[in-house]
Amino acid sequence: MKFPLPQFVAIAALSGLAGYWCGAGRATPDRVAGAPVEGRSATGARTYRKPEIWAPQPKAPSADRIDTLRNAAAKLPAGLEQNKLWQEIAAQWAALDPRAALDWASTLPSGQGRSLAIREVFSGWAANDPTQAALALKKVAGSFDYNEAAGIVAHALASADTRSAAEWASTLPGAAQREAARAVIEEAAKFDPSFAAAFAASFGSGQLRNDLITLAATQWGEKDSSGAIEWLSHMTDERQQNAAAAVLMPIWAKTNPEAAAGYARHMPPGEVRNNLLNEALHTWASSDAKAAAQWASDFPAVDIRAALLASVSMSAAPHSPEFAAELVARLPAGERQNAAAVAVAAAWAVNDPAAAAAWANSFPNGSLATQGMDVVITRWAYQDFRAAGEYLRSLNASQARDAGVNAYVSSVASYHPAVAAQWAATIGNDELRSRSIEFAALSWLQQDAARAKEWIAGAALSDDVKAQLMARQ
């Protein structure tokens, strides 16, 4: 494909080859990357040496080169390629004359290309002279670009002088202040997280302060969870303490869940404490379920104790399903026990579906028995539908069996509709049996309409349902 010369130059610039085509020289055959170079030894035998890896080196920024790229960008249609070239121009120009680069970028049409160019100018300017870059921000004041640029400049200022950067960020208006403050906190947290936290807390009250405290807590927790928890314990504002705890506790729980649980235990009662306790116990149980269960069993509040034991049972189920089942049995009857039982049965079925099914079948007849059998047979049928079918044949009529057969039909109908249809007909509950037969029949009609119609004609379905199925092939 042939390109007009200006468009070709623009595309070459974007791919890193502009310096080559503008005079860097062409590769000779012995300098092309990867080509073995043939020679001869003193005896005349052919030899090969490792080729020199050649790559075009971009030229240093210059006014002429920038003019060339600007002209090329002007001839490109609006869109991605032009935006990328504007970004490249801004980066090179900022290295030579950032003030002139900003003047140029500010004249570009509003949109993504302009924003990318302005961001690139401030990135280069702030890296070399963050103080002057900060003073130049007024050039883009009042725009979205101003907020983005404020964050870029704040990062550069804070990497050199965190406290001065914090003072500067505090003077900015609105969203620019938010972006700059976030940048200062991110930089400060690398080497002085206590200052980052104090700076976040200095923002009076409101959503901005809460957001900044959450950011500071996250940064500090990832660097030094113990130090962050110590800071948390001395906070006097309960709302801010809860916000910080919400991000710190999951981090702490990963490294020391027992200590995290101990700390959460002494927090004021409420949803935040309950969530943090569950997080810590859930993590703890994945490595030491018995210790976590013992800790939860000693919790004084009965309702919280039950919730924690349920959390431990669900976390322990993938690796200790029998112990998890014991914990479920210790829970008070009700929705929490039912939810834990179903979760444990589902996890148990992944590795030992037969044992999980036997446990689920031991549940008292009712919604728990049907839910438990449903999740187990669903997983088992996908793993080994023949083994799951053999197990279902061993069951006596019950709500649990009906739920298991219905789950089996739903699982195998897409690839064995005839088998699914035969099983659906064995369900005892009339309403569930009709729904299950209809589901299997629809799958069968899509795969083998003739045989499906023959079976539907003799199925235990009303004439209306049969007619509807025949019409939906």
Which of the two residues, 441 and 348, has the higher pLDDT score? 348
Q: Are strands 46-49 and 37-40 parallel, antiparallel or unpaired?
A: antiparallel
pLDDT score recorded for residue 401: 95
Whether the Cβ atoms of residue 182 and residue 212 lie closer than 8 Å to each other: yes
Q: Please give the average per-residue pLDDT across 158-184, as a whole number.
A: 93
pLDDT band at 81 (very low <50, low <70, confident <90, very high): very high
CA 429 to chain centre: 43
Would you say residue 353 has pLDDT above 50? Answer: yes
Residue listed under structure tokens 């039950």:
306
Average pLDDT, whole number, for the chain? 83
* 231-237: average pLDDT: 79
Read off the pLDDT of residues 295-336 as tens digits, 9 standing for 90 and up: 999 999 888 999 999 999 999 999 999 999 999 999 998 999
Least confident among 13-27, 72-86, 259-273, 421-435: 13-27
Q: What's residue 27's pLDDT?
A: 37
Reference 216, options 245, 242, 244; nearest CA is 244
The torsion region of residue 270 among left (phi > 0), alpha (psi -120 to 50) and beta comes to left
From residue 204, give the alpha-carbon distance in Å to each of 146, 207, 316, 382, 393: 23, 10, 44, 57, 69
Position 103 pLDDT exceeds 70: yes
Taking the C-alpha atoms of residue 389 and residue 357, their distance in angstroms, rounded to an integer, is 12
What span, in angstroms and rounded, lies between the C-alpha atoms of 473 and 72? 60
Q: pLDDT band at residue 473, thresholds of 50, 70 and 90?
A: low
So what's the pLDDT on residue 316?
94
| 53-62, 257-266, 348-357, 382-391: least confident range | 53-62
pLDDT of 452 above 90? no
Q: Specify the pLDDT at position 38.
A: 43
Contact, 92 vs 118, CB < 8 A? no
Hey, what are 178's tokens? 């938010």
pLDDT tens, position by position, 261-271? 888 888 778 77
The predicted structure's pLDDT at residue 40: 43
Q: What percent of the chain has pLDDT over 70?
A: 87
Instruction: Give residue limits of the domains in the chain.
Output: 256-351
Distance CA 325, CA 361 (A): 13
Q: Check: CB of residue 154 under 8 Å from CB of residue 184.
A: yes
Q: Side chain identity at 456, as an amino acid letter?
A: I
**204 pLDDT above the threshold of 70:** yes
Considering only residues 201 and 339, tell me which one the structure prediction assigns the higher pLDDT: 339
How confident is the model over 118-154, as pLDDT tens digits? 999 999 999 999 999 999 998 888 777 899 999 999 9
Query: What average pLDDT does range 383-400 have in this prediction?
Result: 94
pLDDT band at 13 (very low <50, low <70, confident <90, very high): very low
Give dist(CA 212, CA 190) in Å, integer. Answer: 15
Q: What percent of the chain has pLDDT over 90?
A: 52
How confident is the model at residue 8, as a pLDDT? 36
- Find out whether 28 and 63 touch, Cβ atoms under 8 Å: no
